[in-house]
Amino acid sequence: MVRIYVSSVIDAAADTVWSRIRDFNGLPLWHPGIADSRIENSEASDRVGCIRHFHTRDGGMIRERLLALSDYDYTQSYEILESPMGVDQYVATLKLTPVTDGDRCFAEWTAEFECAPGRERALTEQIGAGVFQGGFDALKRHFARR
Amino acid sequence: MLQKVVRSTIIDAPIERVWAVLRDFNSHDQWHAVVDQSRIEAGERSDQVGCVRNFTLKDGNRIREQLLTLDDRQYRSTYCIVEATVPLQRYVATVTLKAVTDGNRTFWHWESTFATPPGREQELREMVARDVYEAGFENLRRHLAHGGDLRTAGAAPLPVTLPLPTRRVRAVRYGGAEVLQPEEASCAPPGAGEVRIRQRAIGVNYIDVYMRRGWIPQLLAAGGAPGVEAAGAVIDVGSGVHHVAPGDRVAYLGHTPGAYCGVRSVPADWCVRLPAGVDDDTAAAMLLKGLTADYLLHDLGHVARGTRVLMHAAAGGVGLLVCAWARSLGAIVVGTVSSEEKARVAREYGCEHVIVTRDYRFADAVQGSVGGADVLIDGLGETARAENLKALARRGHWISLGQATGPLAALDPNVLLEKSISFSRPVVFDYVATRTALQERAQRLWTALERGDIRKPPIERIALDAAANAHARLESRATVGALILVA
């Protein structure tokens, strides 16, 4: 089992950041690596169990199922159903926690998955530094004070 | 009903370093200022789950707490009060750390639940939140910044500090705004009596312009960096420095220029620690200007109820502070400005009689509205000389603060005789020449700000590298309020 953990601090209240990332169909609106997204079978994007079908900017198609959504804990978990990355049993969680001193929040993005031997490092780099940190960097830029 | 308190922060240190302190259940008397003395009962280890720490607080209260959970994998510690002289009942607290991988920092979450005697819920919630948790965050931050965790008996001394790279803006020669040019530089570690500061905001003042033009060569040699004030955080301190520590937020004011940079070492005596309510931008925008207003009104002008004060450039950084402060002292405030927009702002800040003039004609208006000025604060200089003399009341005091229109030519004492006029030519540094004087005046300034006697001026922010633009704007008379450079 490979585990990835990336965390950051975003200069805006958890509520504010959550309203930008909560929509399971909203990746293209805030993540620079995602080109488009739709929810399969016309389901609501906050219905646990719905499937998002999207393309990365480099053309890869990914399908992911929403496993958990909590407006109380600012948490979203999902699994990969289909992707070109070569990962199995991939479950990821994106979570915000308020930081009480100052108008900012602590953001965590974790993933656990299986992959072919020898691929761990490349996947960790691609997902951790590319997808997760790339997303946080975009949020930090969006909410930058100056 | 159980009370719940949650507090969290970000500590600028790797999680391993923060956890090394917090996992030691008996370390709090070394880093938390409210804790006086602590010991572990029955000779147990301080990381033994079940051990009891027995400690006294600085206020005399006594508390015994038991360690319930210690988790090195989740960076978590849970503990409860077993006996205390403070009325916290069924108190269970959890400290959790998480790594911030982006920047190698630490997220620290501290929460507890407890019951209280009826009616004391809010008071005790606030006590726990503020005096224990929030103060603890600050205290641990300072402890780590001091290297307090590295200084255990027999441990090696702190690593020798190194020069730090920084951006700096120099006046490559005397001249117009364009001579200000940014470059890469390095800042040496602080020497004895010095502190090294990561500057976040740098005040821009007219004295910087005079230095750049070459009007004060004894202060700024050609090729030097201007700037006499800034605010930021202390990185490290040299030997013999006790009143500020690494991690402290400070602002400074000093007569040796060089503030137009990102990292700078300055004498610790120039520094004042900033109250929580004063952010870096405000401090850089207000320190020199506010201390100037303070000595002008209190020391030089003896401004009181009914004093007629004439302030030129009333919508400038010093002008707005003088207007507001003089008004709160009961003075009658007359100001000159160069545009209607500035007139509106000056009025907002307490200037009663605003004269809009672009050609430095104002004496008749001053005489007409208030019958002459008892105190005249003049940043204009030579071009306004005749009008100034005419605007002054009998026994008026002409304070020449600046020379925006050109250096004041020699003054014949006999022109003062006509109305028994006094003339002063002060500079702020002589009013803050000792550390005590600086601290007292700065305290008076922050208190006046907090009480609403003065308001923070509008602040215009320009990047350090674009310092030339800042000077050009200041000289074009386009700015309202204070200008700062952000590093």
Whether the per-residue pLDDT at A82 is higher than 80: the answer is yes
- Print the domain residue range for A137: 2-142
Predicted confidence at residue B157, as pLDDT, reads 39
Please, which residues bridge with residue B462 across strands? B485
ipTM of the complex: 0.86
Mean pLDDT value of segment B112-130 = 96
Predicted confidence at residue A145, as pLDDT, reads 59
At position B19, the amino acid (one-letter code) is W
- % of residues, chain B, pLDDT over 70: 98
Structural domains in chain B plus CATH codes: 3-145 (3.30.530.20), 164-288+435-446+463-486 (3.90.180.10), 305-425 (3.40.50.720)
- B161 pLDDT tier (thresholds 50, 70, 90): low
A98:B8 CB<8 A? yes
Say whether residue A104 is in contact with chain B using an 8 A CB cutoff. yes
A89 or B158: which leads in pLDDT: A89
B104-108, B121-125, B145-149, B185-189: least confident range = B145-149
B109:A98 CB<8 A? no
CA–CA–CA angle B20, B23, B90 (5° rounding): 155
- pLDDT, tens digit, 9 for 90 and up, residues B242-270: 788 777 889 999 999 999 999 999 999 99
Predicted confidence at residue B368, as pLDDT, reads 94
CATH number of the domain that residue A73 is part of = 3.30.530.20
> By CB neighbour count within 10 A (0-12 exposed, 13-18 middle, 19+ buried), where does B117 fall?
exposed
Whether the per-residue pLDDT at B156 is higher than 50: the answer is no
A97:B9 CB<8 A? no
Rounded CA gap, B280 and B202, in Å?
9
In chain B, residues with a C-beta closer than 8 Å to the C-beta of A8 are 100-103
Mean pLDDT value of segment A129-138 = 96
Predicted confidence at residue B158, as pLDDT, reads 45
Mean pLDDT value of segment B316-325 = 96
- pLDDT, tens digit, 9 for 90 and up, residues B208-220: 999 999 999 999 9
- B337 pLDDT tier (thresholds 50, 70, 90): very high
CA distance B468 to chain A (A): 20
Mean pLDDT value of segment B2-6 = 96
Q: Taking the alpha carbons of B314, B319, B320, B326 in that order, is the dihedral positive or negative? A: negative
CA trace torsion B253, B257, B261, B264 (10° rounding): -60
Whether the per-residue pLDDT at B412 is higher than 60: the answer is yes
**Contact indicator for B106, B11 with CB cutoff of 8 Å:** yes
- pLDDT, tens digit, 9 for 90 and up, residues A46-56: 999 999 999 99
CA distance A43 to chain B (A): 35
Whether the per-residue pLDDT at B153 is higher than 60: the answer is no
Mean pLDDT value of segment B275-303 = 95
Rounded CA gap, B269 and A58, in Å?
58
Say whether residue A145 is in contact with chain B using an 8 A CB cutoff. no
For residue B474, the SS3 value is helix
Which residue shows structure tokens 């015994």? B64
Count the domains in chain A. Answer: 1
| Chain A residue closest in CA terms to B110 | A100
Structure tokens at A104: 């900012």
Predicted confidence at residue B446, as pLDDT, reads 95
Predicted confidence at residue B270, as pLDDT, reads 96
Whether the per-residue pLDDT at A146 is higher than 80: the answer is no
